[in-house]
């Protein structure tokens, strides 16, 4: 087994990269994908707000990051149910987001 020093890498560089990954929220990259997927589709804006409201943690305004985002456990569950395995194999794509929101629109009961 080789160490970072034997591989010619500073020992702290690997630790810094690991801590940066650990500090990034699990939904950080996915939030960017969702925003970029929804912005060009104004017809999905209301559906996306409804989905966000349903997925947000209870009492989200009491805990950092003070945004209505899903909790880590729930987000992992959603990725596992969408992509199988442990949820880390598949990456959220814009087409998945649009398809989900269109499904939400179609499954919503109509009033009137």
Structural domain of 69: 26-107
**CA 37, CA 98: separation in Å to the nearest integer?**
7
Q: Is the residue at 78 inside a domain?
A: yes
Q: Are 76 and 87 in contact (CB under 8 A)?
A: yes
pLDDT at position 36 is 94
Q: Is the residue at 11 inside a domain?
A: no
- Give the residue carrying structure tokens 């969702």: 34
**CA 56, CA 66: separation in Å to the nearest integer?**
11
Maximum CA pair distance of the chain? 71
- Which pLDDT tens digit goes with each residue over 63-86? 888 888 888 888 888 888 888 877
Q: Is the residue at 65 inside a domain?
A: yes
Does the structure show a pLDDT above 70 at 50?
A: yes
The number of distinct structural domains making up the chain is 1
- Give the residue carrying structure tokens 């990456």: 91
Q: Is the residue at 8 inside a domain?
A: no
Q: Are 57 and 63 in contact (CB under 8 A)?
A: yes
Does the structure show a pLDDT above 60 at 22?
A: no
């Amino acid at each position: 087994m080789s160490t970072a020093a034997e591989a010619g890498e500073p020992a702290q560089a690997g630790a810094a990269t690991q801590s940066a990954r650990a500090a990034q929220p699990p939904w950080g990259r996915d939030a960017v994908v969702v925003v970029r997927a929804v912005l060009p589709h104004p017809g999905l804006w209301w559906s996306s707000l409804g989905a966000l409201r349903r997925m947000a943690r209870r009492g989200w305004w009491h805990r950092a990051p003070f945004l209505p985002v899903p909790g880590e456990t729930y987000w992992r569950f959603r990725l596992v149910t969408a992509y199988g395995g442990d949820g880390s194999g598949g990456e959220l794509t814009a087409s998945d987001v649009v398809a989900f929101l269109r499904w939400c629109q179609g499954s919503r009961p109509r009033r009137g």
